[in-house]
Every structure is written in structure tokens, then in C-alpha cells.
Amino acid sequence: MEYQIYLKQLAAFKAQTSNKSVKCRLSQAIDLIDSLAQHDLPAEISAFNFSEQFIVDHLGDCPQIMDIDQTLADLRQVVIENFGLWHLFSKSWLNDLATFLAGKKTIQLMAGNAVIASFLDNVLAVDQLDWQGQDNQAPNPWTDVEQMDALAAVKKYYLTTQAFILEWAPDFDQEDVKILQFLRDHQWQGDFIVIGEYHGATNSQAFWDLAHLTVPAALNINHPAIDFIDDQVFIAS
């Protein structure tokens, strides 16, 4: 769906309801789309879906709440198709990441449209830019991207890099396992930041089985699960 059509749906629902909580989530969804259309990010982001109990409690004052909930459930897919972004986050989270990295030389692997690298200093984005078979097959990077396979980039840069970011890696190959094993074999001492859903929509199952994971509070406090995908920020070793 074209994002302009989706925005009209959100705006129509917002005009129809008087429920403040529902209006707030619709406003946040509109803000997210508007921001991305300008190569920007919203200041904050939160969950867009409603709990079953919330829906039951508000059927009376918001009769269209089930339709609204279904429309908001389509948000990530609309963003993927129109902007080529799978991982959704805010400036607040990006600020947390910048504080954590503290200027370390960082490589954003499988960077896609390289949104993280476009906002942070000393972060190099690498991606093959071959999106065949994806819901969006037309990369439109927000900053320069070095066209390279992720494992090749790790092998090229690991001696001069203090942090790697692997964000929403696909679940249909084991490139993530190869990267993890290479870093282990070479006793690399930096931060391997992995963003994804544990044994879920991202990364290979073998990666989740093999990785030693921690969940740093500083990188998750402003990184809520916005829908049915419970993605988190991990440090893997």
C-alpha cells in the first residue's frame, strides 16, 4: 500500500474517534510515516497495537477500534514496502546507541538503507544492496553504503573496528553464525550489537542457539516492541 493512502486511513480514524488513547497511537503512527518520508525519525516510539482487554473495554466508546487495531498492525509492512526499513526506532533510542558507542569506530552490517549510520558519526554502513525476494527490492540509502557482503566486511575491518551492528538479519541463511564464529575464532574484543527477535522473525535459529547474549538495559529502555514482533537489542559473543 502506498504510504499516502495509509496516512489518509489513519487520519480518517483519528477524526472519527474521541478516545484519547486511540487518538494518541494514531498520531504516533502518522508522525512516524511523516518523519520517514522526510528521511527523519520520530522523537519517541511506542507500541501501536492494543491489548485484547483494551479492545473489549473500549468497544463502546470507540466502535471502530478493531478496524483501527488491524490498520495499525499493518504499519510495519507499509514502512517496509515504502521506505525499505524493517527495524523501527526513534531518535531517543538512537541517542542511547550513540551514548553507548561513545564514538567507537563502528560498522553497520547488512545496513539496508543505513538509517543508523546516517545519524551517527564514525559509523560505516555496508550492504550488498541486493534485495531480491524482499518486500522492498529498491534500496534507497540515507547515506553512503559500501557495497559488500557482511562477512567480508567483518574480515576486512575487524582489526580496526570496536563495534559491529547487525540489525534485523534475515532468518533464511546463516551469515550471522559465520560472523559470530569468525569473531570468536579471532578473539575479537569489541561489542557485537545484534538487534532482532530471539528465536523469532530475525536471524537464523542456529545463531540464537550458539550466541551468548546479554540484554543491556541502556539500549532497550527506549526500544519497545511496537507490534507482535518482540525485537530487542542484544550484545552477542
Dihedral-angle region of residue 233 (phi above 0 means left; psi in -120 to 50 means alpha; beta otherwise): beta
Residue 50 has pLDDT above 70, yes or no: yes
In the chain, alpha helices (H): 3-16, 20-37, 52-57, 65-73, 75-83, 91-101, 115-119, 150-157, 175-185, 205-210
Close Cβ partners of 4 (under 8 Å, ≥ 6 residues apart): none
pLDDT tens per residue across span 73-82: 999 999 999 9
Percent of the chain whose pLDDT exceeds 70: 98
Q: How far apart are CA 229 and CA 2, in angstroms?
A: 22
Q: How confident is the model at residue 55 (pLDDT cuts 50, 70, 90)?
A: very high
Q: How confident is the model at residue 131 (pLDDT cuts 50, 70, 90)?
A: confident
Residue 39 has pLDDT above 90, yes or no: yes
Residue ranges of domains in the chain: 3-83, 91-236
pTM for this prediction? 0.94
Amino acid at 105: K
> What pairs with residue 108 in β-bridges?
125, 165
pLDDT at 210: 98
Residues across the chain: 237
What CATH number should be reported for the domain whose range is 91-236? 3.40.50
